[in-house]
């Protein structure tokens, strides 16, 4: 099966339980077609339940409208499948308003969700590169991991908010901030996950890093869902995690 998946990296985390369950149910790995702009992220590269990764245009941004984009992207995935002797193409569009983890199960043809635990997969080089970057940026100091900008302005945190919140509420004085202390497009997101894993505190908007925390069972000190509880209820982890969800910003 080829899963044509025209969604963000956070949604890619939410796809991982269904990919794993498909493998256990059928004994077969899936292939995934994700966005061209995620090629440097290498998100699916180390997933043991994924055979091949293909890259497509962005149905949201590269076409006059999303419906046309979906049509064009789906046709490109059908072509990938034919060229690679893949029999079936699944296209989860998240049209339903149920939790996205469960929607992915249904959309790829699974009847039940046995284990909703999300997963991320990294490699030894990610860990080594993360250690070097941490040493270069903050030395041996305890640090907080921060994201401010998501690329979707309505979801972003105010500039400087994460640093102020972690300093006030967690007593952290040193920080590594996505897009400030490193260029997120220059290194795999799997390396960025390993940097975050080593942090003493996390302050985030609704983003892939929030979902990665759920996948690695890392507590989230602060996460801001600017779009409200309805969005949170669709994308929240379905396994037990420790997280501080906010729909309004705290004072700092």
Per-residue model confidence as pLDDT tens digits over 220-239 = 999 999 999 999 999 999 99
Summary mean pLDDT of the chain: 95
Mean of pLDDT values over 31-56 = 96
Whole-Å CA distances, 142 to 113, 145, 173, 185, 242: 38, 10, 8, 25, 20
Asked whether residue 251 is domain-assigned, the answer is no
Same domain, 146 and 96: no
40-44, 108-112, 131-135, 226-230: segment of lowest average pLDDT: 108-112
Sheet containing strand 50-56, edge to edge, reads: 50-56, 30-35, 2-4, 89-90
Asked whether residue 116 is domain-assigned, the answer is no
| pLDDT score for 49 | 98
Integer Cα distance of 208 and 126 in angstroms: 17
Integer Cα distance of 70 and 89 in angstroms: 13
Per-residue model confidence as pLDDT tens digits over 144-191 = 999 999 989 999 999 999 999 999 999 999 999 999 999 999 999 999
Same domain, 11 and 84: yes
Same domain, 31 and 103: yes
Same domain, 97 and 16: yes
Q: Could you list the residue range(s) of the whole structural domain that residue 190 is in?
A: 124-246
| pLDDT score for 35 | 95
Q: Are 210 and 162 in contact (CB under 8 A)?
A: no
Q: Is the pLDDT of residue 138 over 70?
A: yes
Q: Is the pLDDT of residue 97 over 70?
A: no
Same domain, 155 and 101: no
The CATH number for 148's domain is 3.40.50.2000
Same domain, 102 and 128: no
Asked whether residue 119 is domain-assigned, the answer is no
| pLDDT score for 112 | 87
> Quick one: residue 180, left, alpha or beta (phi over 0 = left, psi -120 to 50 = alpha)?
alpha
Same domain, 102 and 141: no
Integer Cα distance of 5 and 11 in angstroms: 9
Q: Is the pLDDT of residue 96 over 90?
A: no
| pLDDT score for 98 | 83
Same domain, 147 and 82: no
Same domain, 72 and 129: no
Mean of pLDDT values over 124-133 = 98
Integer Cα distance of 25 and 18 in angstroms: 10
Burial classification of residue 227, based on how many CB atoms lie within 10 Å of its CB (0-12 exposed, 13-18 middle, 19 or more buried): middle
Token readout for 27 is 């004994």
Asked whether residue 252 is domain-assigned, the answer is no
Integer Cα distance of 61 and 169 in angstroms: 38
Mean of pLDDT values over 23-40 = 95
Same domain, 223 and 129: yes
| pLDDT score for 167 | 98
| Residue scoring higher pLDDT (88 or 96) | 88
Q: Are 14 and 98 in contact (CB under 8 A)?
A: no
Mean of pLDDT values over 200-226 = 98
| pLDDT score for 60 | 84
Q: What percent of the chain has pLDDT over 90?
A: 93
Of the three residues 80, 107, 134, the one that is the final residue of a domain is 107
Domain count, the chain: 2
Same domain, 79 and 134: no
Integer Cα distance of 132 and 184 in angstroms: 16
Mean of pLDDT values over 112-119 = 94
For residue 222, give the H/E element and its range: strand 220-224
Q: Is the pLDDT of residue 243 over 90?
A: yes
For residue 240, give the H/E element and its range: none
> Residue-wise over 7-16: b if at least 16 C-beta within 10 A, else e?
bbbbbbbbbb
Mean of pLDDT values over 89-101 = 85
What is the pLDDT confidence band of residue 93, given thresholds at 50, 70 and 90? Answer: confident
Q: Alpha helix locations (H) across 27-123?
A: 66-83, 100-107
Same domain, 103 and 128: no
Q: What percent of the chain has pLDDT over 70?
A: 99
């Amino acid at each position: 099966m080829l899963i044509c998946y025209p969604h963000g990296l956070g949604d890619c985390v939410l796809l991982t339980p269904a990919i794993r369950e498909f493998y256990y149910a059928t004994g077969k790995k899936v292939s995934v077609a994700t966005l061209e702009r995620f090629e440097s992220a290498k998100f699916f590269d180390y997933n043991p339940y994924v055979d091949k990764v293909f890259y497509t245009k962005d149905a949201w941004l590269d076409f006059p409208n999303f419906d046309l984009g979906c049509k064009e992207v789906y046709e490109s995935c059908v072509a990938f499948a034919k060229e690679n002797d893949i029999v079936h193409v699944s296209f989860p569009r998240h049209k339903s308003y149920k939790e996205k983890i469960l929607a992915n199960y249904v959309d790829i043809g699974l009847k039940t969700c046995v284990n909703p635990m999300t997963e991320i997969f990294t490699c030894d080089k990610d860990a080594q590169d993360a250690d070097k970057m941490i040493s270069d940026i903050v030395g041996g100091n305890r640090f907080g991991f921060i994201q401010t900008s998501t690329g979707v302005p309505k979801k972003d945190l105010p500039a400087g908010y994460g640093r102020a919140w972690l300093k006030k509420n967690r007593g952290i004085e040193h920080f590594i901030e996505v897009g400030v202390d490193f260029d997120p497009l220059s290194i795999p997101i799997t390396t960025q996950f390993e940097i975050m894993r080593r942090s003493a505190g996390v302050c985030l908007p609704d983003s892939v890093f929030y979902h990665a925390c759920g996948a690695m069972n890392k507590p989230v000190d602060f996460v801001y869902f600017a779009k409200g509880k309805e969005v949170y209820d669709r994308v929240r982890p379905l396994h037990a995690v420790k997280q501080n969800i906010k729909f309004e910003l705290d004072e700092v």
